[in-house]
Amino acid sequence: TLILFDAAVKNCGQTFHQLFTSRATMNVLVEIIDDTRTETIVRNRIGSLLKQWMEDPEFKDKAQYAMLGATYKKLTIEKG
């Protein structure tokens, strides 16, 4: 499912990007990472994807996608 989600992020347009970077979507990703039942490999992959997306010129430093960067920053601070 993460592979499909990543493909959608990379290939869909602005409407999807706005939904993808919404607070609701970011909260779901954080919940998955924070869930102790989630396998480590899945947690790490989500974290890796968040970093990759955040650094992508499509999203980087753009106010309308600020939740993406804020979520990644929050997770890196929490997880150390």
Give the model confidence (pLDDT) of 3-37 as tens digits.
999 999 999 999 999 999 999 999 999 999 999 99
Averaged pLDDT, 47-71: 94
Length of the chain: 80
pLDDT at residue 51 greater than cutoff 80? yes
Band of pLDDT at residue 80, cut at 50, 70 and 90: low
Instruction: Please give the Cα distance from 65 to 4 (Å, whole number).
Output: 20
CATH code assigned at 29: 1.25.40.90
Band of pLDDT at residue 78, cut at 50, 70 and 90: confident
pLDDT at residue 79 greater than cutoff 80? no
Instruction: Say how many domains are in the chain.
Output: 1
Range of the domain at 26: 2-79
Instruction: Please give the Cα distance from 5 to 7 (Å, whole number).
Output: 5
pLDDT given for residue 36 in this prediction: 95
